[in-house]
Amino acid sequence: MRDDMKQIALYGKGGIGKSTTSANLSAALGETGLDILQIGCDPKHDSTRMLMHGAWIPTVLDLVRARGDAGIAMDEVVFRGYAGVRCVEAGGPEPGIGCAGRGIIATFQLLERLGALDGDVIVYDVLGDVVCGGFAMPMREGYAEEVYLITSGELMSLYAANNIAKAIARLSKRSKRTCALAGVICNAKNMEGEEELVREFASRINSTMVAYIPRSRTVTLSELNRQTVMEYAPESEQAGVYRRLAGDIMKNNRTSIPTPLETDELEELAIKFTQV
């Protein structure tokens, strides 16, 4: 692994827009000529779909299940999508059985063995509703050095982000520090006072809001056309937002150890910014 490689992870509540943001971020980075690897770490395996023009690529764990992990080659699990972004989906067991977290660990070990974990930037797109040891693994084992929390102004989404902040705080107490919080991204629902609320939340947990992504019809249209915004509407305002996010993330070298909130603090904060 190269020393100057940037490894970032986007964690957040399910349905909050992690995959959309990750894919557009990867695309924006890829357009600048950087070598990008995006890894979807969610059994739903839809992280890279828009980069792949709607195709469902085979997941690492589907192949492991069918054939064991010995004879798997790099080109069977890594697929090139829009802007040259290399796409991987971890996948998972059938819902309701086995251990998806353990599957994430196995996927990373396999990718490492294949030498796939390289390039200028790796973007990990990780579900944040479950912060079990397996899903925290990209942070714990030093893959995801910079963690970005994605949240809207909705309480449940802030609650999930706060929970992930707890995991980062816990992991940073270890003798060998492996990850840190790099910032909070507000993926807006267009609620009143949302930007201020998320900005305040970020500062309360000892971080900063690095981007405000407004809700936009362009995203919906792009995805209906099975493309990222960067590809479908490169001149749109929304594409500009993602380009700025990509630039800011590349420049960002400020990280912190988060100070997660107690539940009542969080609720109090949400009430303060909500218009009644």
Partner 1 sequence: MNSKNSQSNSLRYEGCTLTGALSVTTQVQDAVTVIHGPAGCTHHNFSLLHAIAAEQDDIRLPPLVPTALGESEIIFGGEEALAGTLRRVADEGPAAIFVLSTCITETIGDDVLSVCARDHGLPVIPVPTAGFLGGVFSDGLNAALTTLAGLAGNEGVGERTVTVIGEKNLEFEVEENFAEVERLLGLLGVRVGVRFVRKMRFADFSRLGLSSLNILRDPALGPVGEALKRRFGTPYIDSFPIGLEGGVAFLGEAGAILGIDPERAVEAETAQQAEMLSSFADMRGAAVSPDPLTLGSLEYAPVRRVMASLDLKADTGGAGLPLPYSPPVGTAGIRRLLHRWRRRTHA
Residue 258's nearest CA partner among 125, 112, 154, 139 is: 139
Residues 6+ apart with CB under 8 A from 189: 152, 153, 154, 215
User: From CA 35, how far away is CA 123, in angstroms rounded?
Assistant: 11
Residue 228's nearest CA partner among 212, 211, 241 is: 241
Which of the residues 59 through 88 are near partner 1 (CB under 8 A)?
A: 61, 64-65, 68-69
- Tell the smallest beta-carbon distance from residue 127 to partner 1 (Å): 16
Q: Which is nearer to partner 1, 40 or 92 (CB)?
A: 92
- Tell the smallest beta-carbon distance from residue 73 to partner 1 (Å): 18
Q: What is the DSSP letter of 257?
A: -
Site string for partner 1, 20-59 (x = CB under 8 A): ----------------------------------------
- 98 contacts partner 1 (rule: CB under 8 A): yes
Judge whether 120 counts as a catalytic residue: no
Site string for partner 1, 148-177 (x = CB under 8 A): ------------------------------
Which of the residues 101 through 140 are near partner 1 (CB under 8 A)?
A: 102-103, 105-106, 133, 137
Judge whether 18 counts as a catalytic residue: yes
Q: Is-contact 108 143, C-beta < 8 A?
A: yes
Q: Which is nearer to partner 1, 64 or 123 (CB)?
A: 64
- Tell the smallest beta-carbon distance from residue 102 to partner 1 (Å): 5
Which of 97, 262, 263, 264 lies at the binding interface for partner 1 (CB under 8 A)? 97
Q: What is the DSSP letter of 207?
A: -
Q: Is-contact 96 64, C-beta < 8 A?
A: no
Which of 94, 235, 262, 264 lies at the binding interface for partner 1 (CB under 8 A)? 94
Site string for partner 1, 215-234 (x = CB under 8 A): --------------------
Judge whether 173 counts as a catalytic residue: no
Q: What is the DSSP letter of 262?
A: P
- Tell the smallest beta-carbon distance from residue 263 to partner 1 (Å): 26
- Tell the smallest beta-carbon distance from residue 122 to partner 1 (Å): 20
User: From CA 230, how far away is CA 58, in angstroms rounded?
Assistant: 24
Judge whether 129 counts as a catalytic residue: yes
Q: What is the 3-state secondary structure (H, E, C) of 55-117?
A: CCCCCHHHHHHHHCCCCCCHHHHCEECHHHCEEEECCCCCCCCCCHHHHHHHHHHHHHHHCCC
In the chain the first and final C-alpha atoms are separated, in Å, by: 51
Q: Considering 35, 69, 120, 129, which one is annotated as catalytic? A: 129
User: From CA 99, how far away is CA 3, in angstroms rounded?
Assistant: 32
Q: Considering 44, 62, 69, 189, which one is annotated as catalytic? A: 44
Q: Is-contact 42 75, C-beta < 8 A?
A: no
Residues marked active site are found at 13, 18, 44, 129
| Sites of contact with partner 1 (CB under 8 A) | 61, 64-65, 68-69, 92-94, 96-100, 102-103, 105-106, 133, 137, 141
